[in-house]
A = this chain, B = another copy of it.
Amino acid sequence: MSLRLPILPDPRSAAPMTWVQLVRTHSKMARRIEQFLDRRGLTLPQWDVLATLSVEENITQQELAGRLLVTKGNVCGVLDRMETAGLVIRRADDDDKRINRLALTPKGRKLFIKLLPDYGDIVQHAMRLVPKTDIMKLFQLLDQFEQGLEPDTAAPA
């Protein structure tokens, strides 16, 4: 089923090949997590909102959009659905009335805390074939990759 390419030493194709592999891995893993979340009535972007707000409460919608790398119009719709589901609340800022401060509801926080261990188990199980000592190496390489993608970076084409 999966195309096991022989290791090509050609450095010009190494980067694209690695990116394609990253996409493959991401697709499969994301599908698995989506299934897990779907049974709990959540989508992946909604999970990202829960995860973000569980760490940083009281950020604005614009800031949330920045964290999730999407537009404010987009995040507005996602928040509509989550507010309807009772997972998040928008609270008008005291000083600047243009701004909404975002927070998880108790229900939202409880749900996130309840699902987080299972989420961790799924990821750990999926990565069981990666040697433990290499997991941090993988993190480091992905981090380096991401640093080459900062928005102010000049890119070809």
Identify the A interface with B (CB < 8 A): 1-2, 4, 7, 11-32, 36, 51, 66, 69, 118-132, 134-139, 141-151, 155-157
Contact = CB atoms under 8 A, between A and B. Distances in A.
Contacts of A137: 137, 141
A29 to B, nearest CB: 6
Given A15-B123, A18-B136, 16 more contacts: A1-B150, A14-B136, A15-B135, A16-B119, A16-B124, A18-B127, A18-B138, A21-B142, A22-B29, A24-B142, A25-B146, A29-B149, A122-B157, A126-B145, A134-B144, A138-B138
29 contacts: A1-B66, A2-B146, A4-B143, A7-B136, A12-B120, A13-B120, A15-B123, A16-B120, A16-B123, A18-B127, A18-B136, A18-B142, A19-B29, A21-B142, A21-B143, A22-B22, A22-B29, A22-B142, A24-B146, A25-B146, A27-B69, A28-B69, A32-B149, A32-B155, A36-B157, A129-B145, A130-B145, A134-B141, A138-B142
At the interface, is chain A mostly helix, strand, loop or mixed? helix
Interface centre among A21, A120, A141 (most CB of B within 10 A): A141
Contacts of A130: 141, 144-145, 148
Given A121-B156, A138-B145, A142-B21, A150 B15 contact: no
Given A128-B148, A138-B141, A155 B122 contact: yes
Of the candidates A15, A122, A123, A151, the one having the most CB atoms from chain B within 10 angstroms of its own CB is: A15
